[in-house]
Amino acid sequence: MPLAFDSRTCGRIAFGFFNIDSDMLLLERTFFFASDFCEKVAATAGRSEKGPSLVSWGGWEISDPRDVGDLMGAIRGVRHVGFIGESYRRFPFPDRPEGFEQKPEGWRTRAEMEEMISRWGAPIRVDLALDPDADDARLGPCSFTGEGFLALVEYVRLGGYPRWRGGEGPAYVAGMIDAIERSAAWPYRRTAG
């Protein structure tokens, strides 16, 4: 489930997993896969040079907020509108509360999720720009402090809310964490060691 995070430029934003059967993340109306996010975070953590950095990957933006959908209505099975509603028609919320765990194999639904979002959103380039001198981490349309950005990384590491099933995420999360733990690059160096 997405949670609220504070940003510098977009105010309080929603970020996170929105369907336990997928590893797709939303950042307000921007959507991308956690595997891509983790790969690019690991790349920035592995930097040896100082100064700003920029990495990019593919994602989607849904311009009309109504086309994003109604997460709570979709979870309850009463309002399957927009992209999120379509994702819940295909991958419904579990019947039993103990089934509410983020699935580490969510990457397997990528092709289906890409097909669905292509009907609702436009392809975009998602940028992750880090500027240590300004204590600024820009992810997509929003900027965060280094600490604010690390909160997003931690959310993905944990599997968001409700957490990864079995307490362990997929290999791409482990790869990101390994890169961060070895990193001396901003903003990760404050968590290294």
Structure tokens, 104? 């580490």
Using a 10 angstrom Cβ sphere, with 0-12 exposed, 13-18 middle and 19 or more buried, the burial of residue 151 is middle
In angstroms, how far is CA 54 from the centroid of its own chain?
17
Q: Taking the model in full, what pTM does it have?
A: 0.94
Q: What does the pLDDT look like over 102-138, one tens digit per residue?
A: 999 999 999 999 999 999 999 999 999 999 999 999 9
Domain range annotation of the chain: 3-190
The number of CA neighbours under 13 Å toward the Cβ of 144 is 24
Q: What is the DSSP letter of 10?
A: S
Q: What is the DSSP letter of 133?
A: G
Q: What does the pLDDT look like over 4-54, one tens digit per residue?
A: 999 999 999 999 999 999 999 999 999 999 999 999 999 999 988 788 999
Q: What does the pLDDT look like over 129-171, one tens digit per residue?
A: 999 999 999 999 999 999 999 999 999 999 999 999 999 999 9
